[in-house]
Amino acid sequence: MVISRVRLLIVSLLAVVAVVAPLGGTATAAPVAAPSRFSTAELVGPYPSDIPPGGTYIPLLDGFADLRAHRPDIIAQNLRIVQRTNNSATPALRADAIDINYDDRLESLSVALGARLGATFRRLLAGGQLPKVAALLKGETGRVSLPLGTTLLEKEYFNNPRPFVVAPNSIRRYDRPGGRLYDQLRNNGSYPSGHSAQGYWKGALLAYWLPELGPQLIARAGEIGRSRMVLGVHYPLDVMSGRLMAMNMVAARLTDPGFARLIGQAGAQLRSQLERAVGMPLARFIAGDRAYLSRSEAVSEHRGMMTFGFGRIAPGQRNAIPASAAALLKSRFPNLSDAQRLAILTRTAIPAGYPLDQTGADGGWLRIDLAAALAAQP
């Protein structure tokens, strides 16, 4: 019964998408054969990873309920950090945050690919040359996050008012002329951050397909999350929760054999289309491109955005990483075992015990520093 309902929901959502971008069918005649699309049946599934073990992502994120109930000092610090980030933002950070608010996360992430490769990616995506990538990642209806990874249920459940609502006199508003960003978000809960979750799950999959630029993509995902604090529409705990939700979601998709096949096909299409467009192997093109960040810069920047200045509140907690997370590094370290990949995630992780970190089945996701893990040596 549950599977039938999930299938019906996915079919309904994809039917809406198909009005704008058909999922299959034949393309008009072109000099080069159009890249293949997923069939509707492939996209609909359903797949075991469509439903998280807890039915929703609420159990994974429920450390926030404990903080609200028992740690008013952390909740107060949560507001102070966003106030400081918002008030001190440079004009460049403000402009980037506004663009991120209105752009698709894929476009926002693409700058991390480098000056020329990023432009090539955007051109191919806009021209319909990456249909499998678009079907899985683009917009609010990317199949990876359907049906339960959109953060909508979780926002409704936690019902946490946004910073600019709680502290209207200390949060500065930045928007486009005529924009209605704050009016649109006023009655929408802050926890978890949907932009942060999207930035990280889309960034993690792009990094899976393009591990040569993995640290840069994950650092950019962190910047997408931080941009929500710059605008004063999210707290640091919202951003951190979006990250841990995304890590869990991507690992679940990669360890679901049926869905992993879709991910593999989309990645193969991405690499082949990019190489065809640039006319050489990607590794050589990337080496000659103007990098967004160096690998070491990306790792350093991302580490600073993992905790936003919070201290550890449970320093005795054991630093264990969920076994399924090893899948996040499979393309970066294809010749290692899952145990060896897990060891890399463990040694590059932040310590256990920061706010939102949990023990047990839902624990460990917050600790994963994917930028550092992707930059590590075996």
Burial group, residue 294, by CB count within 10 angstroms (0-12, 13-18, 19+): exposed
Q: What is the pLDDT of residue 316?
A: 83
Q: How confident is the model at residue 19 (pLDDT cuts 50, 70, 90)?
A: very low
Domain-located, residue 14: no
pLDDT > 90? residue 51: yes
Three-state SS at 326: helix
pLDDT tens, residue by residue, 316-340: 888 889 999 999 999 999 999 999 9
Domain-located, residue 23: no
pLDDT tens, residue by residue, 260-286: 999 999 999 999 999 999 999 999 999
pLDDT > 80? residue 39: yes
Q: How confident is the model at residue 107 (pLDDT cuts 50, 70, 90)?
A: very high
Type of residue at 201:
W
Domain-located, residue 9: no
Q: What is the pLDDT of residue 31?
A: 46
Residue 312 has a CB neighbour count (10 Å cut-off) of 15
| Total domains present in the chain | 1
Q: What is the pLDDT of residue 141?
A: 86
Q: Taking a C-beta distance cutoff of 8 angstroms, is the pair 252, 144 a contact?
A: no
Q: Taking a C-beta distance cutoff of 8 angstroms, is the pair 377, 72 a contact?
A: no
pLDDT (average), residues 28-51: 83
Structure token digits, residue 79: 């507001």
We report the CATH number of the domain holding residue 242 as 1.20.144.10
More confident residue, 17 or 42: 42
Q: How far apart are CA 6 and CA 14, in angstroms?
A: 12
pLDDT (average), residues 372-378: 96
Residue 323 has a CB neighbour count (10 Å cut-off) of 15
**pTM, whole model, 2 decimals?**
0.92
* Average pLDDT, rounded, for the chain: 91
pLDDT (average), residues 356-362: 84
pLDDT tens, residue by residue, 58-69: 999 999 999 999
Structure token digits, residue 347: 């040694």
Domain-located, residue 208: yes
Task: Give first-to-last CA distance, the chain, whole Å.
Answer: 45
pLDDT tens, residue by residue, 81-97: 999 999 999 999 999 99
Domain-located, residue 360: yes
Lowest mean pLDDT among 199-203, 218-222, 316-320: 316-320
pLDDT > 90? residue 7: no
Dihedral of the alpha carbons of 294, 297, 298, 300, in degrees to the nearest 10: 160
pLDDT > 80? residue 30: no
pLDDT > 90? residue 127: yes
The contacts of residue 295 (CB under 8 Å, 6+ apart) are 215, 216, 375
What residue spans of the chain are helical by DSSP H?
A: 2-20, 40-44, 58-61, 63-70, 72-88, 91-102, 105-110, 115-126, 131-137, 152-158, 163-166, 181-185, 194-209, 214-230, 236-254, 257-278, 282-288, 295-304, 338-348, 370-375
Q: What is the pLDDT of residue 363?
A: 82
Q: How confident is the model at residue 29 (pLDDT cuts 50, 70, 90)?
A: very low
Q: Taking a C-beta distance cutoff of 8 angstroms, is the pair 151, 64 a contact?
A: no
Q: How confident is the model at residue 117 (pLDDT cuts 50, 70, 90)?
A: very high
Q: How far apart are CA 362 and CA 59, in angstroms?
A: 7
Q: What share of the chain has pLDDT > 90, as a percent?
A: 86
Lowest mean pLDDT among 191-200, 211-220, 308-317: 308-317
Q: How far apart are CA 137 and CA 156, in angstroms?
A: 24
Q: How confident is the model at residue 140 (pLDDT cuts 50, 70, 90)?
A: confident
Q: How confident is the model at residue 23 (pLDDT cuts 50, 70, 90)?
A: very low
Residue 378 has a CB neighbour count (10 Å cut-off) of 10
Q: Taking a C-beta distance cutoff of 8 angstroms, is the pair 181, 159 a contact?
A: no
Q: How far apart are CA 244 and CA 87, in angstroms?
A: 26
Q: How far apart are CA 184 and CA 179, in angstroms?
A: 10
Three-state SS at 340: helix
Residue 3 has a CB neighbour count (10 Å cut-off) of 13
Q: How confident is the model at residue 13 (pLDDT cuts 50, 70, 90)?
A: low
Q: Taking a C-beta distance cutoff of 8 angstroms, is the pair 130, 34 a contact?
A: no
Three-state SS at 23: coil
pLDDT (average), residues 152-178: 97
Domain-located, residue 13: no
Phi then psi dihedrals of residue 144, to 5 deg: -55, -40
pLDDT > 60? residue 191: yes
Domain-located, residue 139: yes
Domain-located, residue 18: no
pLDDT > 60? residue 167: yes
User: If we measure between CA atoms, which residue out of 195, 15, 186, 20 comes closest to residue 98?
Assistant: 195
Q: How far apart are CA 340 and CA 330, in angstroms?
A: 10
Q: How far apart are CA 375 and CA 304, in angstroms?
A: 16
pLDDT (average), residues 38-67: 95
Question: Range of 118's domain?
Answer: 42-375
